[in-house]
Structure 1
Amino acid sequence: MGSARARYLVYFQYLGTGFNGVAAVRGAQRAVGVQNFLEEAAERLNSVEPVKFTISSRTDAGVHALSNAAHLDVLRRPGLPPFSAQVLAEALNTHLRHPAIRVVKAFRVPDDFHARFAATSRTYLYRLATGCLRPGQLSLFERNLCWALRADSLDVTAMREAAGHLLGTHDFSAFQSAGSTAQSSVRTLRHISVFPSPASPFVLPEESRKLQFWSLEFESQSFLYRQVGSALVLRGRGCGGAKAPAADWALGSQVRRMTAVLVAVGLGALAPTQVKAILESRDPLGKHQKCVAPAHGLFLKSVLYRDLGKRRSLQSRAPQASRDEPPPPC
C-alpha cells in the first residue's frame, strides 16, 4: 500500500497584532508571520514531506482575519489513511503555539485545488470609531481593533457618494505603492458599504454615549497587495486636514488607502468628486492617495470558493457542511 497524499483547504483566523503579516518570515529575523506558527503546528502531523501552507490572501503586519484560507498537502507514511478534515483541524489547533491563531474548519479538496487562484471573492472590513477627542479615550480592548478618530462625526452620505466612484472595474494604480511591480493594477470592486456599527461591548456605558463605531466593507475577487514603496500611515483625524497626526512609514494595501481617502471625505477634507479624480489620475504619489489607514482597523472578513450566485462562505454555511466533503468547484 503506497503513501496517501491528501490536500486540504483550511480556514483560520488571527489577531494580527504582533505579527509581521500572515506570510511566513524565513531566516534568522525576529519578526514572525502567522504562517510560521501554522507550519510549526503542521510538523506534528508527521507528514513524509514538510507541510507548506499556500495562503489565499496576504495581509499586512497588524491586520487581522476573521477568516483567511490556505491549502496544504499531507503525505502520510505507507499504510496510513489520510486524516479526516475534522481530525486535521483539531490536530493543528492542539499544536498551535500562539493563542492569537485558531483553525476554524478544514475540507478535503482535489489535488489541483489552489487556495489563492480558486477564490472567487474576498471581503475586507475596516472599523472606525469617532468621538475620541483625547488620546487614550478609547477602551483598552478596542485600541488594536479600530481606527480612533478625533472627529465627533463623519459625513457618511458624502463617503457613500465617494465610494460609488470606486465601484466597478478600474485601474487602481492611484491606490498602490509607488514602484509597484504588479503586472496589472486593474481590479473589479464589486461592493463598498459604509454603515454604523453597534456599540462596542468593550466600552463602558458612560463612554459609549460619546463614541460611535463605523464599518466599511470592500468586496472584490482580488485586491492589490503591498508592493515596493512606502506610504504615510496616519492616526487621529485622518488624511487631509489632520490635526498634527502621528506618523510612521510602512507599506500599505489598496484597501487601507481607499479607506483613508473615504475617511478624508467623511471629515470634509475631500469632496466626493475628488475621489473620482484621484482614481483617474493613476498617480500613487498624490497628497491624499499616499495616506494609508492604520493596519489595526482592518480585518479580512471572508474568502469565498463557491459560485457567486450561491455564496457559500465559512461564516454563513460551514456549520451545515458535511465534515469531510470539500467545497464544490468554482
Structure 2
Amino acid sequence: MACVPARYLVFFQYFGTRYSGVMETKSDQALVGVQNYLERAAGKLRPSSPIKFHISSRTDTGVHALANAAHLDIHRAPGKPDFTGHQLAHGLNHHLRPEPIRILSAQRVPSTFHARFSARSRTYLYRLLLGTEHHSQVPVFERDLCWAPPGGPLDIPAMRTAAQFLLGTHDFSTFRSLSSEAAAQSPVRTLQELQIQPGPGLLAQHCPHRKFEFWEVKIKSRSFLYRQVRRIVGALVAVGQGRLSPGHIQELLELKDPRAFPPNAMAPPSGLFLKCVEYSQEDLNIPAEQQLQGLS
C-alpha cells in the first residue's frame, strides 16, 4: 500500500528585493522566485518524492512578507517517522541559509487543508516615509522597505476620509491591474479593514538631523485583486498630496474601469509587506482517524 503523505502548513518570511516574487520561476533567470529556494531546501531533506509548496498569497518583485503561508506534502521512506513541525522548520531553515528567507513555524494539518483556499483573511501593510525631499535622503537601513512620496507632507485626514469609500464590498475593477489573468477574476472584493496610522521607523530615532515620519496603511480582506493594494495606496497618497480629492476615490470605484486609474499613481512595491494570513482553528485541526493513520 502506498504511504499517505503528511501535510504541513508553514509560515515564512522574506526580504522581497532579492527575488522575482514569491512564485516559482525558471531557474535560469537573473532573479528567481522565493518558491525556488523553498523547494530546493525541501529537496535536501531527502523526501521519497519531490516536494511542492502551495503558496497562499502571491507577491510581486520587491514585495516583502512578514508572514506568508504555504502547505506541502511530504512522503518519507518506509519506516521513517514523519517530521515534527519543529524538525521541519529547523531543517528548512538550515538549507535556506544564507538567503533572506526564514521559516517561522511548521505544523501538521489535515489532508484537506489548502493554504490558499482555506485562508480566512490576508493583511497587508504599506510603509510610507515623510520628511524627505529626495529619495537619496531615505536612511540606508530603510531603502527598499518604504516609499518616500515626493512633495512634502501628506494630508492624512483627507486620506482617511477617502479610505472610508473603499471599506466594505465593492466592484474594484478600477483598482486592479490590466492583465489577461486578472480579467478572468471577479472584481468584487470586501475590504474588512483599511487604516492609516503612524508607524515605527527602523532607525529613524538615530537620525536627529532630520525629522522623519513613518505611516502605515493597513488593509485586510479575504483576498485581493492583482496589484489592488498598491493601486489603493497610490490613490490615497494622491489624495494626501492634493492631486485627487476624497470624492475622486468614490468616483473611481463607480467607474469600474482599470483604464480610469490615474496614470503613474500606483505605489511602488518596496513599501509593501504581506503581514499575515489567517486560518480558522477548525481548518487546522487534524481528524482523529487521520492521526491514527499517521501512527500506523
Same-fold status (TM-score > 0.5): yes
The aligned counterpart of 1:124 is: 124
Structure 1 residue aligned with 2:254 = 280
Q: Compare 7-16 and 41-50 and name the one that shifted more.
A: 41-50
**For residues 285 and 71 of structure 1, do their structure 2 counterparts lie closer, same or farther at Cα, with a shift above 3 Å needed?**
same
Instruction: Tell me which residue corresponds to 2:220.
Output: 219
3-state DSSP class of the match of 1:110?
coil
Larger displacement relative to structure 2 (173-182 or 59-68): 173-182
Kindly state the Cα deviation for residue 8 of structure 1 after the two structures are TM-superposed: 0.2
Q: CA deviation at 1:202?
A: 4.9
Q: CA deviation at 1:178?
A: 2.1
The list of structure 1 runs, each at least 4 consecutive aligned residues, that deviate by more than 6 angstroms after superposition, is none
| Other-structure match for 1:141 | 141
SS in 2 for 1:141: helix
Deviations 1:120-162 (A, max 9, x none): 0000000001111134111111011000123331111111110
Query: How much has 1:204 moved relative to structure 2?
Result: 3.0
The secondary structure found in structure 2 opposite 1:87 is: helix
Contact 1:131 1:150 in 2 (8 A): no
Cα distance in 2 between the residues matched to 1:168 and 1:39: 37
What is the distance in 1 between the residues matched to 2:261 and 2:174?
Answer: 11
1:201 aligns with 2:203: yes
1:51 match = 51
- 1:188 aligns with 190
Q: Hey, what does 1:263 align to over in structure 2?
A: 237
Contact map agreement 2:204 2:212 (CA 8 A) in 1:
no
Q: 1:162 touches 1:272 (CA, 8 Å); kept in 2?
A: yes
Aligned to 1:170: 170
Report if the CA contact (8 A) 1:4-1:81 is conserved. Answer: no
Match of 2:284 in 1: 327
Percent same amino acid at aligned positions? 51
- For residues 183 and 149 of structure 1, what CA distance do their matches in structure 2 show? 31
Q: Which TM-score applies when normalising by structure 1?
A: 0.82
The unaligned stretches of length 5 or more in structure 2 are: 287-296
Q: Indicate the structure with greater helix content.
A: 2
The question of whether the paired residues in 2 share the 8 Å contact of 1:3 and 1:80 is answered with no
Give the whole-Å Cα distance in 1 for the aligned partners of 2:260 and 2:185. Answer: 21
> When the two structures are aligned, how many residues end up with a matched partner?
284
Cα distance, 1:2 vs. partner?
A: 5.9
Q: What's the TM-score, normalizing by structure 2?
A: 0.91
* Amino acid paired to 1:271: S
Query: 1:183-242, CA deviations, whole angstroms, 9 ceiling, x for partnerless residues?
Result: 31110111000011134425633244x2111000000000012xxxxxxxxxxxxxxxxx
Q: Report the more deviating stretch, 96-105 or 9-18.
A: 96-105
Which ranges of structure 1 fall in alignment gaps of 5 or more residues? 226-252, 311-325
* Residue in structure 1 matched with residue 64 of structure 2 by the alignment: 64
